[in-house]
Amino acid sequence: MSIISVKEVYKRYQLGRENFVHALRGATMQVEKGEMLAIMGPSGSGKSTVMHLMGCLDRPDRGEVWLADRRVDTLPHGELTGIRGKEVGFIFQGFNLIPTLTAVENVALAAEYAGASRGKARERAEDVLKEVSLADRMGHKPGELSGGQQQRVAIARALINEPSVVLGDEPTGDLDTESSREIIGLMKSINERQGTTFVLVTHNPEIGDACHRTVLMLDGAVSEG
C-alpha cells in the first residue's frame, strides 16, 4: 500500500527575470508504507525538490502528490502546515537544530507545534530521546553535542509526533564515517522496530545499501527504480 504517491510532477524555479531552472520534469514515484527508500542521483537531478513536495513544503507546478491517501498538492497553505506538523518528520543534512534550545526543547518543539502542551511535549521528547540513546544529553544545547549526537536529536525530533513518513535530506552528509554508520543503523532499527517509513535523499551508497529500495533520479525525472 502506497503511503506517498508522486504522479507526473513538474516544478521550475525562477532565477532572475527570465531564467528558469526546471527542477522536476514529470517525475513519478511511489513509497510503500513501512518502506525504507533511498533517492539518489547527481546534484541538480531534483532529489531534494521531490522530497520537498512529499513533505508538503512546496507545491508542484503540475502533477499530483498524495500522502496517506490524501491529495496534498491542492491543499491550502494552512492545511499543509498542519500536515507537516503531524504526518511528516524531517531530518536535514546540517542537523538544523535550534542553537538556543536544549536537546529536549528542540525535540519537544515539534510536538508543541502539533498541538501538545509544553509539559506533555517535554515528557514525550524525553521518551524519544531515550529511544535514540541520548538520555544523558537532554539538557545539552546543540553546540555541546557531537555531530552524531545532533543528528540523533534531529531523528528524535522527526519521530516525536509518530509521523506517517520521515523524510531525510542527506542525513549523513555532515557526519564522519563512524557517525554516519551509527545513524544509518539507528534509522534502520527504527524502521524495523516501529515500521516507520523513511525516504532518504542521499549521495551516500551505504544508505542505499541499507534501504529496501533505491530510486535514481536524473534531470528531474526518475531514471531507475
Partner 1 sequence: MRAIRNIFRRKLRATLTIGGIAIGVLALVVMGAIAEKMTLLVNGGTEYFSDKVTVSESPAHSMAALPMSIDRVAEMEAVDGVNVASAGCTLLLDEDGGASFGMPAMLIGYDLRARDLESFEVTFADGRDLEPGDQGKAVIGSDLVKKLGVEKAGDTIEVRGRTFEVVGIMEATLTAPDTTVLVNLPDAQEIFYDGLPEFVQSMVTQDEVITDLTIYPDEGVDPDQLADRLEAQFDDIDAIGPEKFEEQIGSIADIFNYIVYGVAMVSLVVGGLSVINTMTMSVYERTREIGIRKALGASDWRIIRQFLTESAWIGLIGGIIGLALGSLMTAGGNNAIEQSGTAIFLLTPRLAIGSLAFAVVLGVLSGLYPAWHAARMNPVEALRYE
Residues that bind partner 1 (CB under 8 A): 52, 55, 57-58, 77-78, 81-82, 84-86, 90, 92, 96, 98-101, 105, 109-110, 113-114, 157, 161
Rounded to a whole number of angstroms, the minimum distance from the CB of residue 96 to partner 1 is: 5
Nearer to partner 1, 73 or 105 (CB): 105
C-alpha grid cell for residue 115?
A: 498541538
* Residue number with CB closer to partner 1 (100 or 177): 100
**Would you say 44 or 225 has its CB closer to partner 1?**
44
Secondary structure (DSSP) of 66-134: EETTEE-TTS-HHHHHHHHHHTEEEE-TT----TTS-HHHHHHHHHHHTT--HHHHHHHHHHHHHHTT-
Closest distance between partner 1 and the C-beta of residue 99, in Å? 8
**Of 85 and 148, CB closest to partner 1:** 85
- We find the least distance from the C-beta atom of residue 224 to partner 1, in angstroms, to be 26
CA 188-194-199 angle, 5° bins: 50
